[in-house]
A and B are shown apart, each in its own frame.
Chain A
């Protein structure tokens, strides 16, 4: 190993491809995006440096940005909490059963690998008044007519509007499998000796979960929470596909849809980059906070 590490040329050669790729597709675009966020850059027009104008407008005058921030933060908090609870619950459940473990693992994980665009359309149909849930409610007699039921994707009243809440649950359904798999991987790595020793000492199943499992999977909790937070902050597909264009307005946007709309629909690439930079900073801050507050102890 030492001999290998002394070979600087080999190290450089093996690092170079990843480094070049990272620089080309990530580092340079990020740096350019940060620069463009300080410019008035509209598609087809010359780029003009305008300092912090985009940011001032973003935080003081943009209604849609306020709604997008609110919705994205709600989405993130909801995802972190629900995916932690549900993911851990399912992982604990599946690691304790033998029959059908793989089957359920696949069932829960399947939505993760399906296209979000296709799932967005599917759920849009389910929540469209003429079809899906409202039709079912009408057939059970709970509502007089399918159009009388909740307007799942079109109700724009309230601090957090119904479409965002609905989409949060759909996202939970779609991505809980990912959290479950992460927790399962960590739980299966815990030595059975620890549980056996605890059982001999009179530890119950629930005590074992809270006193052994939970502390030992903390590193994965931090990782899963970071992934959930970043994923939910930059969430786009379901919101864009489920909410009709006219209802996105300035109430139903999340940061990613607002960025897309500004950059590609209204051709304001500089302004879109500013939203992207805000998103990037939020992702970094949230990741740092999670890593700071979810304490990871080493037992090795």
Chain B
């Protein structure tokens, strides 16, 4: 009897403990195993731009002898499967880092798709498992991490060994610089990797065949589209399913009509401003020339329609160069031309402003291994990576690297021309508004407008959002 009781107690305890075992544990976010500790823990070579910064003021956890410092890097694409050339460059940087620091540091990437990137990152942050290094776009998303102490201030690392001087100018840090609202005081919270400008890519062969000219104004753009359509081509390929694609065009139209986002923030005007309404009507005019499946196509499908020769115009960021050249048929790149988004007829707004965006890396403020994390970030902006960014990826590098223009994709030169002629830059509207929800609401309003809703009515949600949360 006593034996039975003991058995019952033992079994009950085993059941309880086995159930609780599944709830605990601080396992790494990914299943990739850490590299085994190498016997040789000699100093690994540093990246080619700068030496490892002095770590006097950092709080690096002392690693046991021979223990590899394992860090994680979270990015919005699949490093293994992606055909995007910029993503392939990121993978090369991680591989170089892991090879050069074998036995000392090791980086395990956490990959996801762009659409769910911030959701997953936020979930990890909330769970106290912030990746040591993570990618972010300046704007509302980065604000969340920089102002709440999730991202570390990078000034000390940038100034430690002349690393900052390798960048083209201080202006490249503008998107990641915060004042008193920075989580750890004023400073730089994100290191830019490259710059992309939103431009209009066009198929020169189709334009020539249709007798269309490169448009300087919105009405000329409509004329060119009409000519292309008359010739049997699909004039514009765009994704409304991936809402930011459409909202990028909407942002350009609002800006070209003279809308100042600061005026909206300060409530000097509102979302029912005639400039926004006009931009909505112009989206509806332009949508007559979109591919018929624009509503259902996602960004990848819409971009593929351009590089597969199914459509003549793609309005997209210059990151598309990496995507196009990673997937298009040989020789297609020579057919691609680039022009700046046209001015709006009769508007006094500056027509030379360009939407620009940079991918930036943040280091977690709670990382156990800040030196390893900083070294990894350096591998993303060293000469090898920056040359790759320009020559293969087709993005504008942020460091003063010398790259071979003859090797770089031809589209990069056109984008650089657009960028050089720009009077100033502005961010994506959906990333420049009050917060991510405001940005998403803006996106949805323009998808609604695209589906045919009267712009005045379709803008109600963003107007109400600002009334409730901002003004």
Chain A positions near chain B (C-beta within 8 angstroms): 10, 13-14, 16-17, 20-21, 24-25, 43-45, 57, 61, 63, 128-130, 145, 147, 151, 153-154, 156, 244-250, 264-269
Contacts and interface: CB of A to CB of B under 8 A. Distances in A.
A268 B440 CA distance: 14
A250 B444 contact: yes
Given A16-B12, A44-B144, A245 B115 contact: yes
B241 A44 contact: no
17 contacts: A13-B12, A16-B12, A17-B12, A43-B125, A44-B145, A44-B148, A63-B464, A147-B292, A153-B296, A245-B115, A246-B241, A246-B243, A249-B444, A250-B444, A265-B119, A265-B437, A266-B440
A45 B181 CA distance: 13
Contacts, number: 105
Contacts of B8: 10, 13
A197 B435 CA distance: 71
A248 B448 CA distance: 10
Residue of A10, A16, A17, A63 most packed against chain B (CB within 10 A): A17
A156 B337 CA distance: 36
A20 B296 contact: no
A246 B119 contact: no
A19 to B, nearest CB: 10
Interface residues of B, number: 44
B148 A145 contact: no
A227 B45 CA distance: 61
How would you classify the secondary structure of chain B's contact residues: helix, strand, loop or mixed? helix
Interface in B104-141: 115, 118-119, 122-123, 125-126
Contact of A61 (B125, B298, B437, B464): B464
A129 B290 CA distance: 15
Interface in B47-100: none
Nearest to B450: A246
A145 B234 CA distance: 15
A21 B17 CA distance: 11
A147 B150 CA distance: 46
Nearest to B244: A246
Contacts of B298: 244
Q: Closest 7 CB pairs between A and B?
A: A246-B243, A244-B241, A147-B292, A44-B148, A249-B444, A246-B447, A154-B295
Nearest to B183: A44
A266 B435 contact: yes
B23 interface: yes
Contacts of B435: 266
A264 to B, nearest CB: 5
Contact of A264 (B122, B148, B468): B122
A7 B112 CA distance: 53
Contacts of B240: 244, 246-247
Nearest to A24: B23
A244 B444 contact: no
B9 A13 contact: yes
A17 B16 contact: yes
Contact of A154 (B145, B451, B461): B451
Contacts of B149: 44
Interface in B14-57: 15-16, 19-20, 23
B242 interface: yes
Contacts of B126: 43-44, 269
B246 interface: yes
B437 A266 contact: yes
A249 B242 contact: no
Contacts of A268: 437
B204 to A, nearest CB: 26
Nearest to A248: B444
Nearest to B147: A44
A246 B242 contact: yes
Contacts of B371: none
Contact of A244 (B9, B19, B122, B296): B296
B159 interface: no
